[in-house]
Amino acid sequence: MEADGFGHQSFPELKNDTFLRAAWGEETDYTPVWCMRQAGRYLPEFRETRAAQDFFSTCRSPEACCELTLQPLRRFPLDAAIIFSDILVVPQALGLEVTMVPGKGPSFPEPLREERDLERLRDPAVVASELGYVFQAITLTRQRLAGRVPLIGFAGAPWTLMTYMVEGGSSSTMAQAKRWLYQRPQASHQLLHILTDALVPYLVGQVAAGAQALQLFESHAGHLGPQLFNKFALPYICDVAKRVKAGLREAGLAQVPMEEIGRLVQQMLDDFGPQRYIANLGHGLYPDMDPEHVGAFVDAVHRHSRLLRQN
């Protein structure tokens, strides 16, 4: 068992650290793989586990999250597990109602429409205590992984969370959220600061609970041009990363790798070589994908990168 630097938490020793070494830029025997949405509806066992309860009830059950996180690892030789959760648990913890509508996706019945709506948000300092169920899921999963592969924790970046909170759900244009940036720049910065203040203790808490790497998903960065991105997205991503690192030091926790922008690109091995990155798959695994094809993808990356390295 390895203690995690903060005394009371000990976990089985890690047997496969390829993912972590790649994340730190170190040499690896092969290119490690994990897939966005690797715990997803393409797996029959996932659909079976999820059938009994609604989406956010599942997120609030550490036992269910642990089971869903482990399912893809029973089928495929993936190099990391990512905790089953959702980026929208943070807006929920800030006091906004979020429901998952079948066939439509996330929905906020009362999104942020006016500047004064920011007053409805809870103090960001309480967010981590509201999300104890995520920390419990991480600790349980880390124990049950038995050191097989590292466990990734994650959160949505401030701009991406803001888009959902203002749009009231998914949007192809982000027209409402972008209107905030143009017409209410001060209120936009205020909201992005609130989200940053909520995310820092949440991410530090995930590491304290057992996460060995952190992913910050800026899924909606593509909706911003370079100017808006540099003003309303990048400074907050950097601030989260800097403050999380400082928070880990203060808590006496070991540093973990943070891939700061989580827009994942399928990188072709021949172009990039087999070193210093982690293979993923476009925008993740969609429900209609054949699990056998996922297995073929993971095996091909491992096999081909080993060959490249030998040559």
Active site residues: 37, 41, 50, 86, 164
Q: Which two tokens stand for residue 165?
A: 């909170």
- Torsion sign over Cα 131, 282, 158, 54: negative
Helix (H, G, I), strand (E, B) or coil at 105: strand
CA dihedral 281, 284, 290, 291 (to 10 degrees): 80
77 φ, ψ (degrees, to nearest 5): -80, 55
Alpha helices by DSSP H, listed for 156-289, are 158-167, 175-183, 185-209, 226-228, 234-250, 269-272
Please report which helix (H) or strand (E) contains residue 301, including its range.
helix 291-310
Residues facing residue 100 across a β-bridge: 106
51 φ, ψ (degrees, to nearest 5): -60, -30
CB 199 within 8 A of CB 158: yes
81 φ, ψ (degrees, to nearest 5): -105, 145
Report the alpha-carbon distance of residue 142 to residue 117 in Å, rounded.
38
